[in-house]
Amino acid sequence: FIWRGDTILRHNPAGRPLFDWLMAGPFLLGVVYSLRHWRRPAVAAVLLWTIIMLGPTILAEDAPHFLRGVGILPAALFFPALGLNWLWQWTRLPQTVRGGLITLLLAGSLWLTVRDYVNYSQQPDTAFLFEAGARELAESINAEDGGTAVYLDRWFWDESSQKGWASIPFLTDLSQVQLYRPENNLPPAAAGQPTSLYAWPYGDLEFVPRLFADQAVVMVENGRLSRGDLEPEPYSLYTHYATAPLPDTTAQPINFNNLIQLTAWKITPLDGQTVQVELTWQLKTAEMPTQIVFLHLLNKDGLLTQSDAPPGGQNWFPHWWQSGQMVQEQRILQLPEPYDPALHTVRVGLYDPITLDLLPVIDDNGAILDDGWQLVP
Beta strands in the chain (DSSP E): 149-153, 177-180, 195-199, 217-222, 225-226, 235-236, 239-243, 254-256, 260-271, 274-283, 292-299, 302-309, 326-334, 345-351, 361-362, 368-370, 373-375
Average pLDDT over residues 195-217: 92
What is the per-residue pLDDT for 162?
60
What is the per-residue pLDDT for 374?
93
24 burial via Cβ count (<10 Å: 0-12, 13-18, 19+): middle
What residues have CB less than 8 Å from 210, skipping those under 6 apart?
Answer: none
Average pLDDT over residues 225-231: 80
DSSP string of 63-106? SS-TTTTGGGHHHHTHHHHHHHHHHHT-TTS-HHHHHHHHHHHH
What is the per-residue pLDDT for 160?
59
Instruction: Give pLDDT tens digits for 100-110.
Output: 999 999 999 99
Q: Is the pLDDT of residue 286 over 80?
A: yes
Of the chain, the percentage scoring pLDDT greater than 70 comes to 98
Q: Is the pLDDT of residue 208 over 90?
A: yes
Answer for the pair 104, 96: CB distance below 8 angstroms, yes or no: no
Instruction: Give pLDDT tens digits for 67-108.
Output: 788 888 889 999 999 999 998 988 888 888 989 999 999 999
Average pLDDT over residues 185-208: 89
pTM over 0.85: no
Instruction: Give pLDDT tens digits for 128-187.
Output: 888 888 899 999 999 998 889 999 998 887 665 666 777 888 888 888 899 888 888 888
Q: Is the pLDDT of residue 61 over 70?
A: yes
Distances (CA, A) of 202 to 96, 177, 179, 331: 66, 21, 17, 19
